[in-house]
Structure 1
Amino acid sequence: MRLMRFLLSVWIFIPGCDSDVTCRNDNGAPVDWYIIYKYPRMIGGGLRYLYMDEHSTNGWTLSTKRISKGALLKTLAPLLDFYVSKTTDFGYLLYNDQPPGHDASSSYGHSKGVVMLDKTGKTGVWLSHSTPRFPTYRNRNFWPNNGNDNAQTFLCVTFPYDSFREIGEQLKYIHVYPFDHYIPTDFPKELGCLTKQGCYRNKKPWYRMKTLTSKANREFYSFAKNKLFGDGECLQLEQTFQD
C-alpha cells in the first residue's frame, strides 16, 4: 500500500514539473539561461539557429531543431497551455513595439520580450528578443512567418518570482508596449502597472542600472533607458564606469 501511494504521488508530481515556468533547452530540460541566434532566410530558410546555455562548454551549438520546435516551444509551453486552460497561479506580459497586426506608437520603446511567472513555483522567465509580431496573438503556432527573413536573437533567463518587481521597474524606463497580458492583482504591482496607460518613467534620471540575480545565483546586469536619455546623462554614466 505504501508503494502504491508513493507511485501515485510521483505520477502526479512529474506532470507538474513539466509545466514549471523556466527557460528550457531543446529537449525540454530546465536551464538557468540560454541565448539563441536564429539565422536569416538565406541560411536554412530562416528556421535554423545556434544555441548556447549555462552548460555549453564549447560555445555555440547548431540546433537540430527548427526555431518553432525547439527551446522556444519548450519555454513557452506554460503560456501556450494557458491559452487552452487558464490557471490563477500563472501570469504573463507580452511586449513588442511591432506587435501582431500593427505597429506601436513611436512613443514606446524599441523593445520586445516575454515575461511569464508562476506564483506557486515562485519562478519566472524574462525572454528578451528582437522578432516583430512574436509571439503570434494567443495562438499555439507562436512563430510568425515574418520572423524567417532576418536574423533574430533571444536571451532567456530564469529568475525567482520576487525579482519581477525590479524587472517591472526596468520595463517602465523602457516604456514597453504590452500587446497582451494576464497579470492577476496579487502579482507584482510593477508588472500590473505596465498593462495600463501612462505607466512609464516621467522624471530624471532617465536611465536605471540594476543587477539581477537568476534562479541559479548568476548575476545579470540590466541597463534600461528612457527615450529622453541624452548626452549629459551619457557622460555621467561614462564617468561612473571610469570611477
Structure 2
Amino acid sequence: MMFISIIVILISVRTCIAQAATCKDDGNVDVDWYFVYKPPNVLSSKLLKSGGNPAWAPSGANINQNAGHSVVLTMSRILLVRSAANEAAWFVHTVPNFLAYLSAYSWPQAETPKGHMFLCISFSSALLNSVGKAIRYQEPYVYVNNLPAAILNQ
C-alpha cells in the first residue's frame, strides 16, 4: 500500500509545479521535488529530481558530509527560523529519528549498513490544509514539525 502511495505521489508531482520551492538539490537550487536513494553499506546516494526529464544521477556529496548534499541543504533551511510565510515542504524518509530534535545535521552512523530513501516535495503553504487532509489517511508517525501555532490550531 505504501509503495502504491509513493508511486501516486511521484506521478502527481511530475505533473505539477510548486508555487514556492523549499526542497534544494545538490547545487543549492530550489526544486519542486526530489527522491534520494542511499544503498546499504555505502554513504553515497542517487538523486532523482524534478525538471525536464528526471533521471537518476549520483548525489553531489556523501550523505554524511555537512555540505553539498540535497538532504543536508534542504534540512539546513528547515532547521533555521523561517520568515517566509508562503512556502512549505513535505519531507518523508526511512531513517529512524532522523533530526528528531531539530539540531544540527548529523548522519547516524548506525544507519550506514541499511538502505534508506528520502522524498521532499515543495508546495505553497496555502495548500497545507489540503495536504494534511490527503496524508491523514496514511497515518504517518510525525515526531517533529516546524509549523506555526496558527496552522496547528486550524
Comparing both structures, which one devotes a greater share of its residues to strand? 1
The interval holding the TM-score normalised by the smaller chain is: 0.7 to 0.9
Aligned to 1:95: none
Alpha-carbon distance in 1 for matches of 2:108, 2:21: 22
Contact 2:59-2:70 within 8 A present in 1 as well: no
Partner of 1:155: 119
Alpha-carbon distance between aligned partners in 2 of 1:60 and 1:73, rounded to the nearest angstrom: 18
1:2-47 CA-partner distances (Å, limit 9, x unpaired): xxxxxxxxxxxxxxxxxx8611111111111111111211xxxx21
SS in 2 for 1:187: helix
TM score, norm. by length of structure 1: 0.48
C-alpha contact (below 8 Å) 2:87/2:124 kept by paired residues: yes
Cα distance, 1:124–1:61 mapped onto 2, change above 3 Å: same
Per the TM alignment, residue 171 of structure 1 is displaced from its structure 2 partner at its CA by 3.5
5+ residue gaps, structure 1:
1-19, 90-117, 191-243
Confirm or deny: 8 A CA contact 1:165 1:189 kept in the other structure: no
Counterpart of 1:50 (choices 46, 51, 57) is 46
Structure 2 contact 100–143 (Cα < 8 Å) conserved: no
Deviations 1:66-92 (Å, cap 9, x if unpaired)? 11430011111122223xxxx6x4xxx
Gap change, CA 1:56 and 1:129, over 3 Å in 2: farther
Say if 1:28 and 1:74, in contact at 8 Å, map to a contact too: yes
Unaligned segments of structure 2, at least 5 residues:
1-19
Residue 136 of structure 1, CA deviation = 4.3
Equivalence map 1:1-243=2 (5 Å): 22-41=22-41, 46-55=42-51, 57=53, 59-68=55-64, 69=67, 70-82=69-81, 89=83, 118-119=84-85, 122-187=86-151, 189=153
In the alignment of these two chains, the number of paired residues is: 132
Deviations 1:184-211 (A, max 9, x none): 2322646xxxxxxxxxxxxxxxxxxxxx
Residue 238 of structure 1 corresponds to none
Corresponding residue for 2:6?
A: none
- Which amino acid in structure 2 is aligned with residue 60 of structure 1? W
CA drift of 1:170 comes to 3.0
**How many angstroms does 1:172 deviate by?**
2.6
> 1:130: how far off?
1.5
The share of aligned pairs that are identical, in percent, is 23
Q: Which has the higher contact order (CA 8 A, sep 6+)?
A: 2
SS of the residue 2:97 aligns to: coil
- CA displacement 1:159-180 (0-9 Å, x = unmatched): 1111111222233323333322
